[in-house]
Structure 1
Amino acid sequence: MKKPLFFLTVLFSLIVQARAQQTPGKFTIEINYLLALPEGYAAGTAKKWPLVLFLHGSGESGNDLEKVKVHALPKLLEEGKKFPFIVVSPQSSGFGWDAEQLYRLLLDIKKKYRVDDDRVYLTGLSMGGFGTWSLAARHPETFAAIAPICGGGNPEEAWKMRYLPVWCFHGAKDNVVPITASQRMITALKPFRSEVKFTVYPEAGHDSWTETYNNDSLYTWLLSHSRHQFKPVTLSEKQLSSREGLYVSGKDTVVITAQNGGLMAKHGPHTTPLKAAAPDIFYWAEKLPMDVEFTKEGFVLRRDVEERFRKIK
């Protein structure tokens, strides 16, 4: 039996009304921060400046930016110290730091101010030390060097920071964050080609930041670094041809051939040119920590994840 016209009309009206109830909206996350521009910033419009992102500890969290000024760089700035770089000191509204929110904050700062992309540095204390390790592991391509203080991270992610200079600090008598939290990260980094420094204050407790930030050698060390960039080297035909072959990892296969003074990696329909940075290290993006490291058994492919390939012929 056919449905009455009145029933169909009402049904159509209900459907239209239901659809009309959907309206666009937007959720915005706000991050409050302190900003300090160096002397001379306003004098020109072309010069780009280094930037240091500072992450505070848990005691300074909340919605009052004055709390951020009680330690480290914000405190020194409040006392009149002048730095030759931009200082950005965000405030966490809760416990912990969200790496992706901090990354989006950095992108916004770069749009608004003249930031030298190759000289962006990251440091933090306690909760901010944990935040430093976390953000650096998530976006190692962003920073030129990092200085985590009395924090810790995930040692399994240390390989992502293999090209990132690290100067870590901790108090030997820290009873809030044990020194082993930093030691694990340093131990995990050392097998890689990393510049790693670890300063332990024998008599310091949790406050290992006051002495650290009062020492200008930290800032000299930070500013001595620029963002990692692979430097191409020339290898002999014999060195290149020794890398040729078929490599497998699970169901993935990669064919490596020597061409034009480098290597070509064929993976399915995709072919990627690889340049040499060392006899056993090849890369395909100068400023991104993505590389192929050859071993006796095959090679390790490091991008977002680490994947090992075995040479079968």
Structure 2
Amino acid sequence: MKSLTCLCIAVLVALTAACSHTTGMISPPTLQRLDYTSALDQSERQFFVYLPTGYYSDPDRQWPVLMFLHGNGERGNGRDELGYVLNHGPLYEAWIQKKDLPFIMIVPQLPMFGMDEHADYLRDRKLSDIPQRMPGGVPARPARFATPQPMDGVAAPESMADVPITLPNGWDRIETDLISMLARVEREYQVDSRRLYLTGLSYGGFGTWYIASKHPERFAAIAPVVGWGHPDLMAPIAEARLPLWAFAAGRDRVVSIEHFYPGLNELETLGHPAVRFTNHEDMGHDAWVRVYQSDDLYQWLLEQKRPER
């Protein structure tokens, strides 16, 4: 049954591409689920691949790739729970809000790793709450988090010696899976390999720093959102001169802005020439809503291209 389903999807995609190419029509965006076996525990999982408007109607075009790492609230089993990753970020903007974003997107799902045992907001989720694409329009955006606290920026900590490099049970645990997804999409799709980008919010912001530090040569730019990077991760990023744009929020009581500065200052100390940092002082932890809703980040990403090797 699984093979038959995959065959039907392949035929449908081929027919759509042929029709678009011969009639001059612009192909609509599509959202695919790709199967994979996790290198961590051999579990069978899936990840999303988003193909933008015009992908099938222009077979000679090479597209930039944007990998997105979600936050802690969107974890799941990579099967029936994969839809939770549609709640936020660039895929939410492109697929649910129908924002015209010219990227192939790779959107995986972080396993639970036992986090649901002590997090009510993970245990109490409902699959029925996953946002759905509407044929005739777009759904209303959810209300933003309440942030009644005053703006009160504080000084950077003097030492990061006791702060862990990554969050527990984070994206570092499936590093091999993420790089394999990226390599697979490069092989199987129309990809501009000099324009591979990485972004993530909250837990995914921490993951963005980590993955970039381990594979700085893979990416043309990174954009961690409301997730700071540990100073010990910065040397490979600085050496690669990897362009980055980090985002924090002044009213954030989940990820404090004071922890951003040591890593960013370390990059400058190491001579990194392309450090960009924006603090949304009036926003709380969900500053990612503004960041991904705006065109600014996407335009900046598209301006970045990895040098020829």
TM-score calculated relative to the size of structure 2: 0.63
More helix by share: 2
CA distance in 2 between counterparts of 1:30 and 1:110 reads 21
SS of corresponding position for 1:173: coil
C-alpha change, 1:100 and 1:181, in structure 2 (3 Å) is farther
After superposition, give the CA deviation of every residue in 1:271-303 in whole Å (9 maximum; x if it has no partner).
xxxxxxxxxxxxxxxx3xxxxxxxxxxxxxxxx
CA distance in 2 between counterparts of 1:32 and 1:170 reads 30
CA distance in 1 between counterparts of 2:210 and 2:45 reads 18
After superposition, give the CA deviation of every residue in 1:12-49 in whole Å (9 maximum; x if it has no partner).
xxxxxxxxxxxxxx973544222211112112333211
Higher relative contact order (CA 8 A, sep 6+): 2
Residue 158 of structure 1 aligns to which amino acid in structure 2? M
CA distance in 1 between counterparts of 2:67 and 2:256 reads 24
CA RMSD of aligned residues (A): 1.7
Picking from 148, 151, 171, the partner of 2:249 is 171
Is the contact between residue 124 and residue 147 of structure 1 (CA under 8 Å) also seen in structure 2? Answer: yes
Gaps of 5+ in 1: 1-25, 230-286, 288-313
Is the contact between residue 245 and residue 278 of structure 2 (CA under 8 Å) also seen in structure 1? Answer: yes
Is the contact between residue 221 and residue 242 of structure 2 (CA under 8 Å) also seen in structure 1? Answer: yes
Whether 1:68 aligns to 2:85 is yes
C-alpha change, 1:154 and 1:112, in structure 2 (3 Å) is same
Picking from 159, 167, 170, the partner of 1:96 is 170
C-alpha change, 1:153 and 1:227, in structure 2 (3 Å) is same
Picking from 263, 267, 290, the partner of 1:185 is 263
CA distance in 1 between counterparts of 2:266 and 2:286 reads 24
Between stretches 122-131 and 147-156, larger displacement belongs to 147-156
The count of residues paired between Structure 1 and Structure 2 equals: 205
Q: Which residue of 2 aligns with 1:150?
A: 226
SS of corresponding position for 1:134: helix
CA distance in 1 between counterparts of 2:45 and 2:196 reads 19
After superposition, give the CA deviation of every residue in 1:215-245 in whole Å (9 maximum; x if it has no partner).
101100000010145xxxxxxxxxxxxxxxx
Q: Which residue of 2 aligns with 1:277?
A: none
Residue 223 of structure 2 aligns to which amino acid in structure 1? A
Q: Which residue of 2 aligns with 1:298?
A: none
Between stretches 101-110 and 118-127, larger displacement belongs to 101-110
CA distance in 1 between counterparts of 2:74 and 2:214 reads 24
Structure of greater Rg: 1
After superposition, give the CA deviation of every residue in 1:81-137 in whole Å (9 maximum; x if it has no partner).
121111111111124112222111111111221111100000000000001000000
Gaps of 5+ in 2: 1-38, 113-168
Residue 98 of structure 2 aligns to which amino acid in structure 1? G
Question: % of aligned pairs identical?
Answer: 40
CA distance in 2 between counterparts of 1:175 and 1:213 reads 20
Q: How far does residue 152 in structure 1 lie from its aligned partner after superposition? A: 2.3
Is the contact between residue 209 and residue 233 of structure 2 (CA under 8 Å) also seen in structure 1? Answer: no
C-alpha change, 1:30 and 1:190, in structure 2 (3 Å) is farther
Whether 1:226 aligns to 2:300 is no
1:268-307 correspondence to structure 2 within 5 Å = 287=309
C-alpha change, 1:113 and 1:78, in structure 2 (3 Å) is same
CA distance in 2 between counterparts of 1:124 and 1:204 reads 17
Is the contact between residue 31 and residue 92 of structure 1 (CA under 8 Å) also seen in structure 2? Answer: no
CA distance in 1 between counterparts of 2:261 and 2:307 reads 24
Q: Which residue of 1 aligns with 2:68?
A: 54
Q: Which residue of 1 aligns with 2:274?
A: 195
1:217-256 correspondence to structure 2 within 5 Å = 217-229=296-308
Is the contact between residue 119 and residue 227 of structure 1 (CA under 8 Å) also seen in structure 2? Answer: yes
CA distance in 1 between counterparts of 2:253 and 2:183 reads 36
Is the contact between residue 68 and residue 90 of structure 2 (CA under 8 Å) also seen in structure 1? Answer: yes
TM-score calculated relative to the size of structure 1: 0.62
Q: Which residue of 1 aligns with 2:57?
A: 43
